[in-house]
Structure formats: structure tokens, C-alpha cells
Amino acid sequence: MSDRHPEFPLAEDLVYLNHAAVAPWPERTRQAVAEFAEQNCTYGAAFYPDWLKKEALLREQFKALIKAPSADDIALVKNTSEALSFVAYGLEWNAGDNIVTSNEEFPSNRLPWQSLATQGVELRQADLYAAASPEDALFELVDRNTRLLTISSIQFATGLRLDIERIGEFCKRRGILFCVDAIQSIGAVRFDVEACQADFVMADGHKWMFGPEGLGVFYTTPEARNRLKLTQFGWHMMKDTHNYENKPWEMHPGARRFECGSPNMIGIHALSASLSLLLETGIETIEAALFERIDYLRERIEQHPELELLGPAPSHPKSGIVVFRHKKIPNPALYPYLMQQKVICALRGAGIRFSPHFYNGLEEIDRALAIIDHYPA
């Protein structure tokens, strides 16, 4: 195991297949954080203007990564849940309105909407396998009272990847707002906010983007963000941010209006370093390398007499996630065994979830599967 990618000096005995949960940091991110720590200890915030440049750079990096028209469409948020709550509590609802989603969303994309029941808003949860296609299953729940459709572009527990361009087109035609939890897509596969005609897109940085926890992206179109009433307030969301005597104040015209106070500067330094790796490598290259690993993994699972591929189905588009089970070893026994053998993975849905990234070696996949074969009888 000496062929580690130079940016990922993970422990030799580790097989890291858990990027759909929390990813390791690249070497350059370690360095960025170490330098930021050193600077803070030695000079305090004397270089704050440079930090602001880093913050501006991170918005530009996100703009490039998700193909946003402007860096002004990017807010830096705590996490996906916060951004979803901004949308749920920013929109004006009427009793009788409904929201359409799937019945397999991560709780972050369910709880905020369910909580609107107190305002008479219904959350409709489609069974994505109950119609001709997952998209059709969503469309079948839409009626005249549907105000918003919210969906994870890739489902966390099955790896099912939705055709968000088709969903976006459907929503646009009917005047329904379209919200995409893109945490399982951005950094793994190509993602284009304009092509999918999304009004709101959110993702945290600690999965496929290799960032630390606690810093994510919230994209809004100018029209969509103007429909959101603000739910948090503080100095940083003013148009004239550093004019503290600014009374009365004007709201920032861009998405920065959703950032009420001091930025997560250490997170910004870390995530900017991580995104620089993605952007330098190129998301097309990353997606192609990831799919090569996914194809290999799926093939190996399909050829294995004792493993059963659970998702995504071969007829569905590829994502960075593969879920499988062992026909003889129950998941609750196999999962802790794999973790103890240092195959870092997750227990999700009906099986074991492997989520490699572009830098994993194919031999690591062989090693993980060989470890399964050595499960003590």
C-alpha cells in the first residue's frame, strides 16, 4: 500500500471508503490550517485583510465548482441543515400549501419541512421506486397547491442519483420552487446550478469536498433569495459591512445577507485549500476517476457469489455511493468487523455503504473485499 496519492497520506493500513460521510483532509488543507494557526499565535488578526481575500476567494471557488453565475449568489453557511432552514422559514406559507420530496431523504431535508405542519403546510414524501422513474414518482405528488419541491440530488442511503435537470425543468414550467440538497454531489460529480434551474442549492463541505465540518455553501438565484425573509440578523449581513455606525442599514444585495456574524475563518482557510485541489484536478477528471472506481467496485460485488448489490440499480445513473450486503453475514456484524479491520465505511439503509473518491487505488477496493472474505467463520 505504498501508492498513496501525495495529497492523501492516510495511514497505510486504512482503506478509506467513507466520503459520503466525512472525508479525510488533503495534505494542503493540513498545511493551510497549520499556517493559519501559526499566524494567529504569532500575529493575532494582524493580517485580517488577507483573511478577507481568502473568504472572497472561497466564494469564487464555489462559483466555479457549481457553475453559479456570480459569487454574489454564494452564502457561506454552517451546514446544509442551516441553509434548508433558511428556505423553510424564509418563505411565506399559506395553510393548504404542500411541499414534495422523497421518503428517503436525510433528516436535514425532512425536519425543516415537517416542522411547517404548525402552519398548515403538508410534506408529501414520494416512494421513488413506485413509478416509471424516480422523477415521475415526485411529479405524481405535485398538485395545484405544491409550492416547492426539495430533493437530494443523490440519496445518502442508496446512492440513487436523480435527474435534477428534468426535475428543474418540470418545476420551472409549473412555477414551483426547486430546492436541491447537493451534499452527496458537489465535489464528486459535475454540478451545474443553472442547468438544473435550481432556486436553492446547499451542501456542507466535509464530504466530497474534503473540507472540515461546519462550513458549507448556500446558493440562491437573486429572485429566489429576494423571496426569503431573513431569520438571522447581525453586522456581517449589511451592504456596508464594516461601517458599524451605519444607521439605518441596508441589507447586502447578494447571498451574504444570510451570513449574520463573524465568518468561520479557520474553516474558510481549510475549505479553500481543499477546493483548490478539486478545481486544479478538474471536476470532470474527478468524476471520471470516481466512476472508474465505482464501476470496478460494482463489478467485483456482482461477480462475488456471496455479495448482493443493493444500490443504485444498474439501470440508474452512477453516483459515488455503492450499497451492498453479504448473503450470510448480517450487516450489524459485518459493519463493526470492517471498521475494526480499518475499512472505513458506513452502515446505511439496507446494507454496507462504500463511497470511494477519485484518489483511492483500485487495489484498496480489492483489499476491502478480501477482508470481507476473511470474516471469521
Ligand X SMILES: Cc1ncc(COP(=O)(O)O)c(C=O)c1O
Q: Which residues bind ligand X (CB under 6 A)?
A: 79-81, 106, 108-109, 152, 156, 181, 183-184, 204, 216
Q: In whole angstroms, how far apart are CA 116 and each of 122, 142, 197, 231, 304? A: 8, 18, 25, 15, 46
92, 230 in Cβ contact below 8 A?
Answer: no
Can you give the C-alpha Rg of the chain in angstroms? 22
Grid cell digits, residue 26: 488533503
- How far is the C-alpha of 289 from the C-alpha of 109, rounded, in Å? 29
Least distance (Å) between residue 54 CB and ligand X:
21
Closer of 24 and 369 to ligand X (Cβ): 24
Do you know the residue count of the chain? 377
Least distance (Å) between residue 209 CB and ligand X:
11
Render 150-195 in DSSP notation, one character per residue.
EEESB-TTT--B--HHHHHHHHHHHT-EEEEE-TTTBTTB---TTT
Least distance (Å) between residue 28 CB and ligand X:
23
Closer of 77 and 238 to ligand X (Cβ): 77
Least distance (Å) between residue 105 CB and ligand X:
7
Least distance (Å) between residue 354 CB and ligand X:
15
Q: In whole angstroms, how far apart are CA 319 and each of 222, 228, 289, 313? A: 30, 31, 12, 11
Least distance (Å) between residue 108 CB and ligand X:
4
209, 76 in Cβ contact below 8 A?
Answer: no
The owner of cell 488578526 is 45
Closer of 125 and 341 to ligand X (Cβ): 125
Closer of 207 and 325 to ligand X (Cβ): 207
Closer of 108 and 272 to ligand X (Cβ): 108
Closer of 106 and 191 to ligand X (Cβ): 106
278, 187 in Cβ contact below 8 A?
Answer: yes
